[in-house]
Structure formats: C-alpha cells, structure tokens
C-alpha cells in the first residue's frame, strides 16, 4: 500500500491563508486533505485512478503525455472544409450547449441538459470523471435550490460541443478548472480542456444492463464527496431527476463539518423512509429520516507501507459512505442522480 503521509489535517482553503498548498486526491493542489489516494484492496478496481501530469507541470485530465489542447480542425464532430464542399454547401458548426453533471457511475458521465433531457456518455479519452467531478476542481455556478441566508448552492457545469449533423463522432466536452492557471489547471483559461465523449448511450446500456453497478467504485466516489464537504464545512446535496421533469428533487442532504480533534460529523436527512441496514438506528422528525455519523479522520487511514507512506483505506472509506449510498440507491439504479454543495457565502 502506498500514499502520502501528513501529520495534521489542513484547514479549509477558505480560511484565508495565502500561498498555502493544499493536498488533493491527485497530490498537492486544491482539495486540502493530507492523503492523496485510496489504497487498493481486494476490490481495488473500484478505487479512483490518479490522472497523470504533463511534463510541463500543467495538470490535465488525460493520462500519459497526450496534449490537453487540440486544434479546432482535429476536434471530432466539427465539419471540415473538405466535408462541407463535398455537399456543395456550407455546414455551420453546431452551437455550444450548457450542461451540468450527474453523479458518474460505471465510468459513465450523465449530462443534464438545459430543459428535461439527460444523456449518458463514456469518455473516449482516458479520463476518470469520478476523480475530477464534485471535488472542487471544476468551475461551478449558482444552483437552483433555495438556501438559508448567507449560504449558496454551487453546481459544476461545462460547455458541450455537439457533433456535426454529418459526423459519426460524439460530442466534445469543454471542462474548465476553478483556477485556470498553475499546476492543477485544466488547461486553457478560455476554452478549457477538450474531452471527447461517445455518442449518447441507449438507456439500457446506461442503466448497466448485463453488468450492474460497480458498487465499490460508486461508494469510493461518494466517500470522497463526503470528505470534501467535511473539509469545507459544506452541505452535500443529492437530487434526483424524474423522466421529462426539468426540476431536480431533493433526495438526501448531508450537513458536514470537522472539529479540532479531526472528527468529521455528518448529519443526514432524507424524506425517504429509511429504517434498515445502516439506517437501523435513524430517527424520524418533521417527516424526515435523520441519521448522525461521527467519523475520526485518522480511522480512515490504512497501514504504513514499506517506505512509511500512508493513504485512505478502501474498506473503511466505503463503510463510511454506506449510509449515503444506501439512501441514494433506494429509488433504484443511480442513472439520474445529481450532486452539489451548499457553502457559506464568501
């Protein structure tokens, strides 16, 4: 087992300490937790992968040495002059589209389009969205949820370049970093990094027909969202979209914080009737099912490796996430789940 060690839990980056490097699941960057990766166990295939870095120092979501910039003429889905001339007319490029993200699962990325549509795609580039989304790396915008005074919902969003009508390619996602410069930037401050996606998957394939859900990988992603929320003192909000309904409905909220003893406190609340499994000791109040979790951060750490390195233990991380996962899966397969954070205004 290997990872990175640290003696103390860093404070939230919102504490106002200038020039302090924080630690992300990828290494030093913006997340703020001292251990960079989940240690692999018997079910290690579900643990998030660590994206590689370019030799030049700028982070990209691609593995290996692939450049994060792609000339416009090489972006799939765009009509080339030759193709346009073959039809004897000019083909206008497709208009960019604003999209939000659903919770990734099984390597699939749900895209929430403006309106009521959801489409599901696989990345054609070597990108693990579960190690990027929801962790504070991607640009976010104000969300639609009503929040208490002094709080604001943030939802991550991006630009989608649809494939040209006469193209066999899928769309291209333009993903922008929160900080578009420096070591952890997702490339260009204007356009963002282009990530090629498959064509929209059939609903049956998106719902895991024949394969089911990678529960370990899904649980690891949820656990990392919980760590990020505790670090920031945020409310983690999960919503569910119904077919042909543009409005996302509340499924679960997780009020999160960490105290001076590095004990994380999670206060779960849902309108669902949860009374079994990890929720066996939950209580009911105001038509909601409530459950409190107290998790010492140090209890999530695995044993030190040969070189004294330490990381998050896979089994302990997924155990922490189990109550959240059980609630999220109660309505069924998680193909229409969304997540956001509600933070105090800055």
| More confident site: 6 or 326 | 326
Residues 167-183, mean pLDDT to the nearest whole number: 79
Confidence of residue 145 (pLDDT cuts 50, 70, 90): confident
**Rounded to an integer, what distance in angstroms lies between the CA atom of residue 43 and that of residue 67?**
32
**Angstrom distance (rounded) from CA 339 to CA 223:** 13
Give the mean pLDDT of the chain: 76
Per residue in 22-33, pLDDT tens? 322 322 233 334
Query: Is the pLDDT at 20 greater than 60, yes or no?
Result: no
Summarised one tens digit per residue, pLDDT across range 215-256 is 999 999 999 999 999 999 999 999 998 878 888 899 999 999
pLDDT at 181 (0 to 100): 55
| Whether residue 270 has pLDDT greater than 70 | yes
Could you give the CA distance from residue 145 to residue 320 in angstroms, rounded to a whole number?
Answer: 26
| 96-110: average pLDDT | 95
What predicted TM-score, i.e. pTM, was given to this entire model? 0.74
Distance in angstroms (rounded) separating the CA atoms of residues 127 and 223 = 20
Better-predicted residue by pLDDT, 30 or 73: 73
The reported pLDDT for the residue numbered 90 is 62
Pick the residue with more confidence: 29 or 169? 169
Give the tokens for residue 85.
Answer: 């001339």
Spatial distance between the Cα atoms of 25 and 40, rounded to a whole number of angstroms:
14
- Nearby residues of 252 by Cβ (< 8 Å), 6 or more positions away: 237, 238, 268, 269, 270, 272, 324, 327, 328
């Amino acid at each position: 087992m290997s990872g990175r060690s640290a003696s103390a839990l860093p404070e939230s980056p919102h504490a106002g300490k200038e020039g302090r490097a924080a630690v992300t699941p990828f290494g030093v960057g913006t997340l703020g937790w001292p251990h960079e990766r989940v240690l692999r166990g018997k079910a290690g295939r579900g643990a998030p992968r660590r994206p590689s870095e370019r030799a030049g120092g700028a982070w990209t979501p691609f593995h290996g040495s692939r450049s994060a910039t792609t000339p416009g003429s090489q972006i799939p889905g765009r009509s080339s002059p030759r193709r346009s001339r073959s039809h004897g007319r000019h083909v206008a490029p497709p208009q960019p589209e604003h999209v939000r993200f659903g919770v990734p699962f099984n390597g699939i990325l749900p895209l929430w389009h403006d309106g009521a549509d959801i489409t599901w795609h696989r990345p054609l580039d070597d990108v693990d969205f579960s190690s990027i989304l929801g962790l504070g790396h991607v640009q976010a915008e104000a969300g639609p949820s009503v929040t208490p005074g002094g709080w604001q919902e943030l939802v991550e969003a991006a630009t989608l370049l649809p494939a040209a009508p006469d193209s066999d390619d899928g769309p291209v996602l333009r993903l922008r970093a929160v900080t578009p410069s420096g070591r952890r930037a997702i490339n260009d401050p204007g356009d963002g990094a282009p990530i090629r996606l498959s064509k929209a998957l059939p609903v049956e394939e998106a719902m895991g027909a024949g394969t089911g859900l990678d529960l370990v990988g899904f649980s690891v992603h949820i656990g990392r969202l919980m760590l990020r929320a505790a670090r920031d003192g945020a409310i983690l909000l999960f919503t569910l979209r119904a077919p042909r309904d543009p409005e996302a409905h509340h499924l679960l909220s997780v009020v999160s914080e960490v105290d001076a003893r590095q004990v994380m406190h999670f206060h779960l609340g849902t309108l669902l009737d949860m009374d079994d499994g990890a929720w066996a000791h939950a209580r009911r109040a105001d038509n909601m099912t409530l459950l409190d979790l107290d998790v010492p951060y140090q209890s999530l750490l695995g044993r030190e490796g040969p070189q004294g390195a330490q990381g998050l233990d896979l089994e302990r991380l997924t155990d922490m996430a189990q109550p959240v996962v059980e609630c999220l899966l109660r309505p069924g397969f998680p193909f229409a789940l969304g997540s956001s954070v509600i933070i105090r205004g800055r």
